Chains A and B, each alone.
Chain A
Amino acid sequence: MAATEHGGSGFNIHPMDQFRVEPLFGGTEVHWYTITNATLWMALTVIAVSLLMVAGSRGRALIPSRAQSVAEVTYGFVRKMVEDIAGKEGMKYFPYIFTIFLFILLANLLALIPTSFSSTSHIAVTAVMAIGVFVTVTVIGFMKHGAGFLKLFWVASAPTVALRVVLAAIEVISYFVRPVSHSIRLAGNLMAGHAVLKVFAGFAGALGVGAVIPIVAITAIYGLELLVACIQAYVFTILTVVYLNDALHPGH
């Protein structure tokens, strides 16, 4: 993935090469069972989550170790978020939400390790999570409220029936817009940030002595990416909770 060789003719930057999914153990075709770099880094994410939450909090010490306090703070943070937005009823779904949060957060953070693979920059990964949330939330809505859940789409305050039908169509489409934007945002943010890093790295390779400037810029962008990684995990989770709340209390 060395995208920064400067040949005889100007720049030779391939910022998108880092997102290529490649089989780890030879071969060129990717089947559904092929173990790729995406598989590897998602597995590492799961391992990292387990290390943090299971091994980190194993001590159950009254005075927590560093790992334990990180685990506790994360837990408390997400728990408070769910409680504040979705109320006590939402706490039933806390494990699911917490899992999503931890997976995205650690996938984003692991992606910041140089030469690593950013699994959450792929729409395929984020879309699966967004669709999972979408289906879960919709099913919960119908289970809790039956057909009454459809009232979410029916704007009863509109004056005429014709207008209500048009508004219902708009509401239904906007309901389906949510998972799309939900997934595109996470993947887009990650991909854009990592591509920018690579482009600047390419400048550094081509500039020789003047490389100091892009390197300083990379340092700054890296800091920003750290922020993006955390904020996007937070945003994905909080939107999940907001959607969940809509399903639990579909009052318009």
Chain B
Amino acid sequence: MSEDPFAERLKRLEDRIAAANASRAQPAARVGAKFTQGSLAWRMVTELVAGLLLGLAMGWGLDSLFGTRPVFLVVFVLLGFAAGIRVMLRTAAEVREGKAEGALMRPSGSDGGPERDDARRPGEE
């Protein structure tokens, strides 16, 4: 007789704690989600352009070293472009798997806990 109300109250308290936890976990992860997409797009563009420019600079440098103006320039611009795409694709893979910066964009408040296991080794394919 005397046990019943306590169990009832305990259960109500647990429900309230669970609800409070849920409501606290949600917004933290969602605030930046929209904005982070823009930030990621910006990151990808930077990587693409940086690759191209780096290739250009390396080709230019090698050419002025060896006196073969267009050869290395052409080759390294292409290589640089490929490298830029490579880095960009790696970023895209990060987002897809919710690693690194992509972790900011995961839909709900999975801020830690067992889900973090898959974030162990980014940079891998």
In contact, A170 and B35 (Cβ under 8 angstroms): no
Question: Does chain B have a CB within 8 A of A26?
Answer: no
Q: Within 8 Å CB of B86, what residues of A? A: 170-171, 174
- Whether B31 and A173, one on each chain, are in contact in the complex, defined by CB atoms closer than 8 angstroms, is no
Using CB atoms, name the residue of chain A closest to B52: A177
Q: Are B83 and A173 in contact (CB under 8 A)?
A: yes
User: Could you jot down 29 A-B contacts, CB within 8 Å?
Assistant: A85-B122, A87-B120, A171-B83, A173-B51, A173-B79, A173-B80, A174-B84, A174-B86, A177-B47, A177-B50, A177-B51, A177-B87, A178-B87, A180-B53, A180-B54, A181-B43, A184-B46, A184-B50, A185-B42, A185-B46, A227-B31, A227-B32, A231-B104, A234-B104, A235-B101, A246-B123, A249-B121, A251-B121, A252-B125
CB-nearest residue of chain B to A232: B39
For A251, the chain B residues whose CB sits under 8 A away are: 121, 124
A239 part of interface (Cβ distance < 8 Å): yes
Residues 70-90 of B, flagged 1 when their CB comes within 8 A of A and 0 if not, give 000000100110111011000
Name A80's closest neighbour in chain B (CB-CB).
B112
Q: Is the CB of A185 within 8 A of B43?
A: yes
Taking A84-B119, A170-B82, A234-B104 as known contacts, 12 extra A-B pairs with beta carbons closer than 8 A to each other, sorted by chain A number, are: A85-B120, A166-B79, A170-B86, A178-B87, A180-B53, A181-B87, A185-B46, A189-B42, A231-B36, A242-B123, A245-B123, A251-B121
Interface of B is mostly: helix
Contact (Cβ within 8 A) A189 B50? no
A224 within 8 A of B: yes
In whole angstroms, what is the CA distance A249 to B39 when docked? 28
Q: Which of chain A's residues have a CB closer than 8 A to the CB of B79?
A: 166, 169-170, 173
Partner of B35 from A231, A239, A249 at Cβ < 8 Å: A231
Q: Residue B100 contacts which of A85, A171, A227 (CB distance < 8 angstroms)?
A: A85
Given contacts A173-B54, A173-B79, A227-B32, contact A181 B122 (CB under 8 A): no
